[in-house]
Structure 1
């Protein structure tokens, strides 16, 4: 059940006896912007390193050890139009070790991290700030060496080329990060606490009343919080955006971006799920079986759908000389689905794999949290386990065919190896 603690701050308790641990999770959601992404990412690094009363990483780690080896961390994410700062903590359930106070101590620890960061005289402590800022710059720059990640980010830059915010990854860019100071980061922190939508979750063998009693002690400011739309929608493009990069790599990357115009709140989402499984989502898909296995044109070939931005991507690793042949074969796989060339066995296998994937996720506390988060933000999409499975199982070959006919190629990114040009 979800409780509104105050406007813009919710608590969802998910009681279950499956686990001997309790998972606490806090998500701060704001509009994703180029300006703030890097600053919010740096903030997560600093908040998980130390605090005012645990001024070193050693002191913070010692406190977690006192909590019977609790795990704790912060990270960022992006979903559609939203930038998310996530704080998670997992502690042992006190009833199993006869220590009833463990949960309240865990909430007190989160209170320490969120409300008593290492800020003195209006700025974050300089040494930690410098270290974490340099680490984050190094991480962002290192992505240039991970060619698969680089190709994925470059494809998104092409696909969303008219929107600087959507082109920016969740962790931000070095250009904006270099401008962040110890003082400006305090403003980022205060803005997040005062303006973001805040969703709190607790999963475990707990009661709602006991959880609420502890969570209500967190002193969130009663402010006017902003809830942007989760969905990012962009107009279809009349021309295909293309970019080729040449680097000294052994394996080229050919990534394609398609507009689906199918979103999470669209009944056609289930047909898209089945389509993606048949196209490139599973080992029996057309991309995997025909592009990779049968024709050996790719080292890997897969597809993934983003129903919060109406975006579907294809990722392949190829020899540069095979670019045109790979492109033609990928086009043919999509066309075949558009012609309805799917056997009943392939359709049934895809649905069974989607069902199993979903049922396995129910054993994961974080998957339960993500479902509850979407139910809070998009209550009109809320459904139980049986309803979701039924909708997947009802998808017809004709509906998959319609999805295949609807999606449009809008961007092509190709990372070529220098040796392929010689």
Structure 2
């Protein structure tokens, strides 16, 4: 059930009775720029930890305890160019506590406080809070370089999206930019975000649209004239393949590959693309896992995953530096085998069974309902669980082969052990 509270502000209520919690999430959406991505990341950290009524994390935690152990947090994500700052609250369902709607009211009041009443001092964020969260976020991002699997993934992202200034940086921004943000500038941006971002509010649980709408009518969200926020069809332009090798004192080399992938979200090849990925490298029954890791013993790990919003497939492997050429060859062979139909119907049936099982299991959380509802709004279509499962079951081997033929390697990032540059 949906209603537009104000122009640019939409409420979606998903009334389900199987959960003991009610999940509330408030999403601020905009078409991000490179600089604003870092601003939004720092904002999310600051707004999670304090407010005027709860000026420190201890008092925030105490209030959550008063709300029967509610869970609260902020998060950031990006779908294509759309950057999402989310405030989430999970509270116990009033029906199980016999509180007659009081807990939902208190929870929404807490969210309103955390979003709209930040801790301020002299027309800027509280100085101590700002400095602490800025330093923490910079330290966190810089520390990611020590996790070589994450480091390699971010370097491949930068390489693949070389011509896209937003997509080539992570959704949490850049340490150098965050370190340079001024307190007053961040407050000005926060006020801009509240006034101009598209707002999507989701409530999942044993609630009604009327009771939620009545309480949100008191929130200070004005009408906003916004540019259309939705997911666009991916355009795969012809590009030169990019290759980068970097040497560091690592024990385990990282070989990551990025491919143009021929599916957008819910286009004609969407379900075949999901099935192809699970067969190629996205499951324990995949060709990469069985043939690269298990049979050939050429990788500590080898897997693939797809980003259907950007039409991208990524292969990640951890290998010995000297095995690079062999691993590249065997990965290419797995793709060729699928193109030629060299896989059994039994294998596909097992792959589909795994996909359906994982999908059904994912429906056991309130957060999944929220994520699906947001995606439905952004792509302007809705798919029920039964429709999704039926579509997976109907995928043919010919459709899987057709996807494989359109997969195109576009970027290779290799993090090599020092002294092995030419491996």
3-state SS of the aligned residue for 1:120?
Answer: coil
After TM superposition, give the deviation of residue 267 of structure 1 in Å: 1.4
SS at match of 2:118: coil
Contact 2:230 2:378 in 1 (8 A): no
Alpha-carbon distance in structure 1 between the residues aligned to 2:58 and 2:409: 51
| Distance (whole Å) between structure 2 residues aligned to residue 238 and residue 174 of structure 1 | 29
| Aligned counterparts of 2:210 and 2:5: Cα–Cα separation in 1 | 13
| Structure 2 counterpart of 1:182 | 183
1:50 counterpart = 2:50? yes
For residues 242 and 421 of structure 1, the distance between their equivalents in structure 2, rounded to whole angstroms, comes to: 13
- Equivalent position of 2:351 in the other structure: 350
- How many angstroms apart in 2 are the aligned matches of 1:385 and 1:234? 28
Per the alignment, residue 325 of structure 1 pairs with 326
Distance in 1 between residues matched to 2:230 and 2:205, nearest whole Å: 30
Q: Is the contact made by 1:257 and 1:314 (CA closer than 8 Å) also made in structure 2? A: yes
Runs of 4+ in 1 over 4 A off after TM superposition: 419-422
Conserved? CA contact 1:33–1:166, under 8 Å: no
Distance 1:270 1:76 in 2: 27
Correspondence for 1:2: 2
Measured in 2, the distance between the counterparts of 1:120 and 1:238 equals: 50
Please give the alpha-carbon distance, in whole angstroms, between the structure 2 residues aligned to 1:42 and 1:75: 11
C-alpha distance after superposition, 1:384-421 (max 9, x if no partner): 22221111111110110011000100000000112646
CA distance in 2, matches of 1:32, 1:12: 24
SS in 2 for 1:297: coil
1:412 aligns with 2:412: yes
* Structure 1 residues 69-118: Cα deviation after superposition (integer angstroms, max 9, x where no partner): 11100011111121110110011122322223111011111111111111
Contact 2:141–2:175 at 8 Å: present in 1 too?
Answer: yes
Q: Which residue of 2 aligns with 1:167?
A: 168
The one-character-per-residue Cα deviations of 1:220-250 (angstroms, maximum 9, x if unpaired) are 0222123334237354344210001111111
**Contact 1:30–1:82 (CA under 8 A) maintained in structure 2:** yes
Question: Does the 8 A contact of 1:155 with 1:257 survive in 2?
Answer: yes
Q: Deviations over 1:137-178 (max 9, x none)?
A: 000100100111111111111111011111011000012112
- Aligned partner of 1:362 in structure 2 is 363
Residue pair 1:195, 1:226 contacting (<8 A) in 2 also:
no
Look up the match of 2:388.
388
| Structure 1 partner of 2:306 | 305
SS at match of 1:223: coil
2:70, 2:90 within 8 Å by CA — same for their partners in 1? Answer: yes
Measured on the aligned residues, the alpha-carbon RMSD in Å equals 1.4
Change (3 A) 1:232 1:395: closer
1:23 corresponds to 2:23? yes
* Preserved CA contact (<8 Å) 2:265 2:379: no
- 1:242 alignment counterpart: 243
The separation in 2 between residues aligned to 1:135 and 1:232, in whole angstroms, is 37
1:113 is the counterpart of 2:114 = yes
Mapped partners of 1:315, 1:227: distance in 2: 35
Rounded to whole Å, the distance in 1 between the matches of 2:164 and 2:348 is 37
1:190-205 pair list within 5 angstroms: 190-205=191-206
For 2:75, the equivalent position in structure 1 comes to 75
DSSP-derived class of the 1:206 partner: coil
Aligned to 1:164, what secondary structure does the other structure show? coil
Establish whether residue 126 from structure 1 lines up as the match of residue 116 from structure 2: no
Question: Per the alignment, in what secondary structure is the counterpart of residue 308 of structure 1?
Answer: coil
Greater alpha carbon shift after TM alignment, 61-70 vs 42-51: 61-70
Shift in CA distance, 238/65, structure 1 to aligned 2, threshold 3 Å: closer
Residue 148 of structure 1 is matched in structure 2 by 149
Query: What is the distance in 2 between the residues matched to 1:309 and 1:344?
Result: 29
Using the alignment, how far apart are the partners of 1:348 and 1:32 within structure 2? Answer: 41
Q: After superposition, what is the alpha-carbon deviation per residue over 1:341-370, rounded to whole angstroms, capped at 9, x for unaligned?
A: 110001111111111111111111111111
Where structure 2 has 5 or more consecutive residues not aligned to the other structure, the ranges are: none
Give the distance between the partners of 2:363 and 2:255, measured in 1 at CA. Answer: 34
Aligned partner of residue 231 in structure 1, secondary structure = coil
Residue deviations 1:288-322 (CA, integer Å, cap 9, x gap)? 00000000000000001111111100000000000
The Cα shift of 1:198 comes to 0.8
Work out the CA distance in 1 between the residues paired with 2:357 and 2:192. Answer: 41
1:315 corresponding residue in structure 2:
316
Residue ranges of structure 1 left out of the alignment (5+ in a row): none
Task: Give the alignment's TM-score, normalised by structure 2.
Answer: 0.97
Structure 1 residue matching 2:289: 3-state secondary structure: helix
Aligned to 1:97: 97
The CA distance in 2 between the partners of 1:122 and 1:106, in whole Å, is: 28
C-alpha distance in 2 between matches for 1:317 and 1:194: 46
Verify: 1:34 aligned to 2:28, yes or no: no
> What SS does the aligned partner of 2:180 have?
coil
